[in-house]
Amino acid sequence: MPVHNADIAAIFEEIADLLEIRGDNPFRIRAYRNAARSVGEFGRELKVLIESGAELPKLPGIGADLTAKIHEIVTTGHCATLDKLRGQMPPAITELLKIAGLGPKRVQALNRELGVATLAQLKQAARAGRIRELAGFGAKTEQRILEGLALHAEQAQRVKLAVARQYAESLVAYLKRVPGVEHVVVAGSYRRMKDTVGDLDILVTAPPGGTVMERFVAYDEVREVLSHGETRSSVVLKSGLQVDLRLVPAESYGAALYYFTGSKAHNIAVRRLAQARGLKLNEYGVFRGDLRVAGETEESVFAAVGLPFIAPELREDRGEIEAARAGRLPDLITLADLRGDLHVHTKASDGHNTIREMALAAKAQGLDYIAITEHSRRLTVARGLDPQQLARQIDEIDRLNTGLTGITVLRGIEVDILEDGTLDLPDSVLQRLNVVIAAVHGRFELPRRKQTERILRALDNRYVNVLAHPSGRLIGEREPYDADMLRIMRKTKSRHIFLELNAQPERLDLDDIMCQMAREEGVLVSINSDAHSTFDFANLRYGVGQARRGWLERDNVLNTRNIKALHALLNAGR
């Protein structure tokens, strides 16, 4: 059975979930969660390395035992530890953990007291009002569970972009090896860099009579063939992801790529422009009567309807067509524009590498500077730093900078915003830092007014530079907390504070709508990896993709500046 890094990570996550429901050793649980993250974010397929006989790289948090389990999963498709745990608990009980408001202790209580072991049983118990009767739950928790179930049902068929990428890249590489194949490209929401993907739409150009469709349905990761035709086939992969393949002639390639990239709303709006010019636009080309006037390239399609090329990330019918007609399309930021990363963790808190190792990895990615921003002391589960520990790290960074070339390490902290809006560390230590990132890590359920006032008060601190992951969302797991983002943005602007776009694939926070709002409000955004290992700098690509969806240009992003300009901006509010 084919195994991707995402599959290994999912097994480790499920083991951690089952151990947590069982009440196992928290250090063991954390080890599996850390391993899942390390494997899931590693840039090369571990299966390929193992099958080639290469020694696995030293991944953060993965020792001999977990390395052996990786080999077991790759070679057998199973993990004996997971099989044993599944045998001890009701099937699918870990699905309950995906519902907002349910942690391991509550899942355990629901199972013990009400016999709830499936999502259907959970929904039935909530609708019957039986959950509110349990100690520690109540009517509000029951209502949040019902809302969480509705959200889960809505998002269940979508996967995070970074996970979809593993399956997409493997399949694209496979199809490119088919004789006669010229173009292979993934269209749809994947190409538009949406944070989640429902399925994969792949376009291929190849001469007629080839074997691409036969090779596609014979791909070794296919679980089910939904349809198999000469120009279109659909399959479901063993991961559960549906893939549609379309074979198009070269003269229609641009039109098909445009059409299947979407979005639907954007396509409808452009089709109206074509109709106003007496043209017909579809996946085969742009036609005047029976004459094809464009279609070989996307540029020709846009030109035929009087528009310049519009980047895929903008195609959501959110003003891009009007901007294109007026010559006001943004010159979107690229990954190469980033000069630094202002949110990085090390072994001093919950990271996996030393400061020096993180600095050298950032330099290898082409960055000029990073800020080391450990968690503050309140976050004990992440081994947050107290003032004395932070002071020692400040001295360590100063010493390290004297021996580094080509990269500068900035002194920083990710300081918790407490419930009353005060910060978790005193000003006496914050004033020694180059970068102070303020973050909400708890009490997400506060009412809108209290949550907003809490954040606004934190932003009044003269040493705060950046508001981290501003909405608090976790994609598919936790909705954004309720806060007045417009007031928050306007406060950041008045205080010369910046908003983070956290590039972790499970966050991508700010979302694209909020990025566009920040741009309109004149608030700079900082695209940060929130790196916890040397591999995590690769996640910046997803942050840049989200920024592009939010219309951000180079000048809208804080960390496109050189170090001198950066210091000037960071000090402006102090």
Helices (H) and strands (E) in the chain, counts: 23, 17
H-run or E-run covering 425:
none
Closest CA to 525 of 564, 567, 553, 495: 553
H-run or E-run covering 570:
helix 563-571
CB 257 within 8 A of CB 246: no
Parallel, antiparallel or unpaired: strands 280-282 and 285-288: antiparallel
In a 3-state reduction of DSSP, which class is residue 326? coil
- CA pair distance 481, 445, nearest whole angstrom: 7
- CA pair distance 376, 462, nearest whole angstrom: 18
What backbone phi and psi angles, to 5 degrees, belong to 232? -150, 135
- CA pair distance 541, 369, nearest whole angstrom: 17
Q: For the beta carbon of residue 492, count every other beta carbon within 10 angstroms.
A: 25
Please report where in the chains the tokens 């776009």 appear, as a residue.
Answer: 501
Quickly list H helices, 386-440.
Answer: 387-401, 427-430
Parallel, antiparallel or unpaired: strands 199-204 and 242-247: parallel
DSSP string for 220-278 = TTEEEEEEE-SSEEEEEETTS-EEEEEE--GGGHHHHHHHHH--HHHHHHHHHHHHHTT
CATH topology assigned to domain 159-247: Beta Polymerase; domain 2 (3.30.460)
In a 3-state reduction of DSSP, which class is residue 188? helix
Residue 70 CA, chain-centre distance (Å), reads 24
Q: For the beta carbon of residue 277, count every other beta carbon within 10 angstroms.
A: 13
- CA pair distance 318, 328, nearest whole angstrom: 13
Token duo for residue 189: 């929401």
Please name every residue paired with 199 in a beta bridge, in sequence order, or none if there are none.
242
Identify the sign of the CA torsion 141, 146, 149, 150.
negative
b/e code 318-340 from CB counts within 10 Å (16+ = b): bebbebbeeeebbebbeeebbbb
Closest CA to 373 of 443, 433, 292: 433
In a 3-state reduction of DSSP, which class is residue 441? coil
Q: Which is the CATH superfamily of the domain at 252-325?
A: DNA polymerase, thumb domain (3.30.210.10)
Token duo for residue 76: 């057998």
- CA pair distance 495, 484, nearest whole angstrom: 17
Alpha-carbon Rg for the chain, nearest whole angstrom, is: 25
pLDDT score recorded for residue 2: 66
For the 335-571 domain, the top CATH level (class) is alpha beta
Q: Where are the domains of the chain?
A: 5-155, 159-247, 252-325, 335-571
CA distances from residue 207 to 72, 372, 391, 424, 567 in whole angstroms, order as listed: 42, 53, 66, 64, 56
Token duo for residue 103: 């942690």
Residue type, 206: A
Residue type, 327: G
In a 3-state reduction of DSSP, which class is residue 386? coil
CATH code for residues 5-155: 1.10.150.110
Question: Under 8 Å CB-to-CB from 328, ≥6 apart: which residues?
Answer: none
- CA pair distance 560, 553, nearest whole angstrom: 10
- CA pair distance 240, 236, nearest whole angstrom: 6
pLDDT score recorded for residue 381: 67
| Crossing angle between the packed helical segments 5-22 and 161-176, to the nearest 10 degrees | 150
- CA pair distance 494, 250, nearest whole angstrom: 53
Per-residue pLDDT tens listing for the chain (574 residues): 568 888 898 899 889 988 988 888 888 998 898 888 888 878 778 888 888 888 887 777 788 899 999 999 988 888 999 989 888 887 778 888 878 778 888 888 898 889 888 888 999 999 999 999 888 888 888 888 888 888 777 666 789 999 999 999 999 999 999 999 999 999 999 999 999 999 999 999 998 878 999 999 999 999 999 999 999 999 999 888 999 999 999 999 999 999 999 999 999 999 999 999 999 999 999 999 999 999 999 999 999 999 999 999 999 999 999 999 999 999 999 999 999 999 999 999 988 899 999 999 999 999 999 999 999 998 876 689 999 999 999 999 999 999 999 999 999 999 999 999 999 999 999 999 999 999 999 999 899 999 999 999 999 999 999 999 999 999 887 889 999 999 999 999 999 999 999 999 999 999 999 999 999 999 999 999 999 999 899 999 999 999 999 999 999 999 999 999 999 999 998 8
In a 3-state reduction of DSSP, which class is residue 131? helix
Closest CA to 437 of 295, 536, 307, 341: 341
- CA pair distance 176, 219, nearest whole angstrom: 13
DSSP string for 46-112 = HHHHHHTTPPPP--TT--HHHHHHHHHHHHHS--HHHHHHHHHS-TTGGGGGGSTT--HHHHHHHHH
